[in-house]
Amino acid sequence: MLRLAAGVEQGSSHQLARTVVDAARAAALDIPDPRWAREDPGRGVSGEVEGHLVTVGTRSFALEQMRNPESALSRGAAHGAALRAFVTIDGTMAGVIEFADQTRAELGRSIAQLARLGVGRILIVSGDHVENVRAVGDIAGIADVFGDLLPEEKVAIVRELVASGETVMMVGDGTNDAPALSTAHVGVALAAHGGGIAAESAGVVLLADDLSRVADAVRIGRRTYRIARECILVGLGLSAAGMVVAAAGALPPVAGAIAQEAIDLAVILNALRASR
């Protein structure tokens, strides 16, 4: 079951999919390549592996693929651990993969850095079960937590924040986050494992799977904006002063042209500071 599940999951960038693949590799299993695979955002992945139709995802997603959704195994699978992936093979419930959730080591440090940068409100919007999300929120000190969300529900929360006048930055790492990433003022994709459509939807792509880099991105963005504004104001100001002097007849055309080139060069050199 784990071998076939990993086969259909290996094309997904979702954290749980990567965990399944890692578990199969840790068990020294030969993971087969799928003939085809399709991801249903917020629900699961299905595909053909070694001639078998395999699905991995939520319970409702698995039940849709089953020939006998009222079987004892499918009913029993409704209970137990909160974070689970249900696996069907050729229309039969093959088993359940249980996940032990944990917070990122850098989570507390990252939140503290964002707070120092003036980020006034932090929310967790997740497709995971709300109990798990609340537990993470308690550990991180985040009061605003939303769980059991589909991709469109994440978008609705972002739109509500934008409509209320907030400037919203959304951080995500999976296909389910892509619509919300493109809806926020700034989308930040954690794309250490490729990112896929999430990276395509985001305005900022971080190639390190490290939340502390989000604060780095904020600092870089603010510094770049400050330098750009500085260059615009200084460049236009000096050019306007030069035109006033030229209009008064104190600056001949050749000297004016040279002065303008010098102003442009100075502004360009100053702008290069943003690349540091």
CATH fold of 2-98: Calcium-transporting ATPase, cytoplasmic domain N (3.40.1110)
Residues 6+ apart with CB under 8 A from 147: 126, 127, 128, 129, 130, 131, 132, 133, 134
> Hey, what amino acid is at 85?
A
Burial of 190 (0-12, 13-18, 19+ CB in 10 A): buried
Q: What b/e readout covers 235-269, taking b as 16+ CB neighbours within 10 angstroms?
A: beebeeebeeebeeeebeeeeeeebbeebeeebee
Q: Which of 165, 205, 161 is nearest to 183 (CA)?
A: 161
pLDDT per residue, tens digit, the chain (276 aa), is 999 999 999 988 777 888 999 999 999 999 999 999 998 877 899 999 999 999 999 888 888 888 776 654 555 555 544 678 999 999 889 999 988 777 777 888 888 899 999 998 999 999 888 888 888 888 888 989 999 898 999 999 999 999 999 999 999 887 788 899 999 999 999 887 666 788 888 899 998 878 889 999 999 999 999 999 999 999 999 999 989 998 888 888 899 899 999 999 999 999 999 888
Class of domain 107-217: alpha beta
Instruction: Give the C-alpha separation, 18 to 10, whole Å.
Output: 7
Contacts with 271 (C-beta within 8 Å, 6 or more apart), sequence order: 227, 228, 231
> What's the rounded Cα separation, in Å, for the pair 164 and 158?
10
CA distance 80 to 171: 30
